[in-house]
Amino acid sequence: MTYSLAGAEQALLAKRDNLNLRWYPRYHLAARAGWMNDPNGLVWFDGWYHAFYQHHPYSTQWGPMHWGHARSKDLLHWEHLPVALAPEGPADKDGCFSGSAVVDGDTLALIYTGHKFHGDATDEANLYQVQCLATSRDGIHFERHGMVLDTPPGLHHFRDPKVWREGDAWYMVVGARDGETGHVRLYRSDDLREWQDAGVLDEAEKALGFMWECPDFFTLGDKRVLMFSPQGIAAQGYSNRNLFQSGYILGQWQPGQPFVRETEFIELDHGHDFYAPQSLLTPDGRRIVIGWLDMWESPLPEQQDGWAGMLSLPREVSLSADNRVQMRPAREVETLRGVWMPWPVTRLENQQITLPENDDALEVLLRWECGNSSAEQYGVSLGEGLRVYVDAQMQRLVLARHYPQYGLCGMRSVPVDINASLELRLFFDSSSVEVFVNDGEACLSSRIYPDADKRALALFAWSGSACVIEAGAWPLA
């Protein structure tokens, strides 16, 4: 099949009126139709935030990757734009894989991976991934410049470039696989077109994965953050429970110097669905991260509805006093709030209370006094499929989903101090929940699939009592 931008637009136009919108997000970015995965090219350019994303417009299955495109003034209200890239050149004939965007004077530049096979596509020895460039003056229509960086000798998996400007040079990190070892390679350029190899920035050790995807490298406070998505990490206890993870390593780096690690790999999000996060800088200097709110090889029930995949809420990241990356909903999210609806609940005594609000789009605020609660479990539920609760015996906050009809059951959790107060901000959309713990201490994000008549919210406490300091919700416009 021959791919083109015009063909992609025709496919989307033909599909848009046949979508089932029961689980389509109200305030998260999703494709007009078809498949979506990794966010790409998050950038502020010419008065707009731009979000590109991995996209297959021809079906709800992963396929030859295109770059979908949307723009926004506030990171929340997105305007869909024409598909930006299609696999239509010799360097990217089998897919325009993930990458990034930078502003070069009055030009928006996309740097992405061209995915191609030289021969039989079932033989990985024929796989080559190269880095390509496309530019635009209007932020909508792009001129393709082809390959600017070839596959290093001996490698086949070499993808997901993230580019930034530092001093008088451009730098680029690229994820790669060397045998069974994942690593991130570093490059330098004066013009985005000619790149010099600056060596391996960091690589896996102690079973830290066979491939490091979607690297990002930025500064928070006085630290450098290497954010990436390693493949091939084994689960250990409560950690690394998803098929693939996303997280970071903190350290020190200066141009021309090696990266010096100061921490181990730390997961960013502890829910079922968060992958391939990418960051951008806002005009006022905040570092914002957005991820793919899904997980590879996990059931996606919305595929039967004509679409698949969505992006997370924009999250502002900062560094805590004990040098951990914290994520909070970007302040723009608060502009979606309607009228505050307090819930007149102060104590639950071995009971469940159904709440009046059942809108698809809600921000819920819950503050529990854990030290004054004796219940074994207490928290909030949505219908029969989702519970977010404190397990006092485990001393953990648990997100448990139960949708056996779709093959989506299981729990994720983070530790909590059961002798202190606990604040939760929960963002419910048609098919997702994102839970922010104690103003950035932790985050759990998961896809959910409730039936329309099974979205009732309830507070509960079992085998004892639970003290509620504050509870309520804002409907989100």
Domain co-membership, 325 together with 216 = yes
The DSSP-derived string for 181-232 is: EEEEEEEEESSSSSEEEEEEEEE--SS--SEEEEEEEEEETTEEEEEEEEE-
Question: Do residue 80 and residue 93 come from a single domain?
Answer: yes
Residues 95 and 64 in one domain: yes
Q: Provide the 3-class DSSP secondary structure of residue 38.
A: strand
- Find the length of the chain: 477
pLDDT band at 230 (very low <50, low <70, confident <90, very high): very high
Which residues does the annotation mark as catalytic?
38
Average pLDDT value for the chain: 97
| Gap between the Cα atoms of 307 and 433, Å rounded | 18
Domain boundary (300, 318, 333) is at 333
Measured between alpha carbons, how far is residue 319 from residues 215, 216, 221, 283 in Å? 19, 16, 7, 19
Cα distances (angstroms) measured from residue 408 to each of 125, 222, 456: 35, 41, 19
> What are the pLDDT digits (tens) for 203-217?
999 889 999 999 999
Last residue of a domain, one of 304, 333, 362: 333
191 shares a domain with 78:
yes
Domain check: are 287 and 391 in the same one? no
Q: 191-227 as b/e, with b when 16 or more CB fall inside 10 Å?
A: ebeebeebeebbebeeebbbbbbbbbbbebeebbbbb
| CATH code assigned at 428 | 2.60.120.560
In this predicted model, what pLDDT tens digit does every residue of 408-438 receive, in sequence order?
999 999 999 999 999 999 999 999 999 999 9
Last-in-domain residue among 311, 333, 355? 333
What mean pLDDT do residues 302-311 have? 98
Does 251 share its domain with 385? Answer: no
Q: How far apart are CA 137 and CA 143, in angstroms?
A: 9
Does residue 341 share a domain with residue 321?
no
Q: Which domain holds residue 470?
A: 337-475
313 & 427 share domain: no
The residues pairing with 184 across neighbouring beta strands, listed in sequence order, are 175, 202
Long-range contacts of 414-417, Cβ-Cβ distance < 8 Å, separation of 24 or more: 414/238, 414/270, 414/442, 414/444, 416/370, 416/390, 417/370
Residue 41 to residue 251: CA distance in whole angstroms:
24
Query: What tokens does 367 get?
Result: 């503050």
User: What's the gap between Cα 190 and its chain centre?
Assistant: 30
Domain shared by 240 and 291, yes or no:
yes
- Which runs of consecutive H residues, i.e. helices, occur in 316-390? none
- 214 and 248: one domain? yes
Same domain, 69 and 186: yes
Q: What's the number of domains the chain is made of?
A: 2
- Predicted pLDDT of residue 306: 98
**pTM over the 0.85 mark:** yes
Is the pLDDT at 52 greater than 90? The verdict is yes
- Let me know: does 36 contact 310? Beta carbons within 8 Å: yes
Judgement on whether residues 260 and 373 belong to the same structural domain of the protein? no
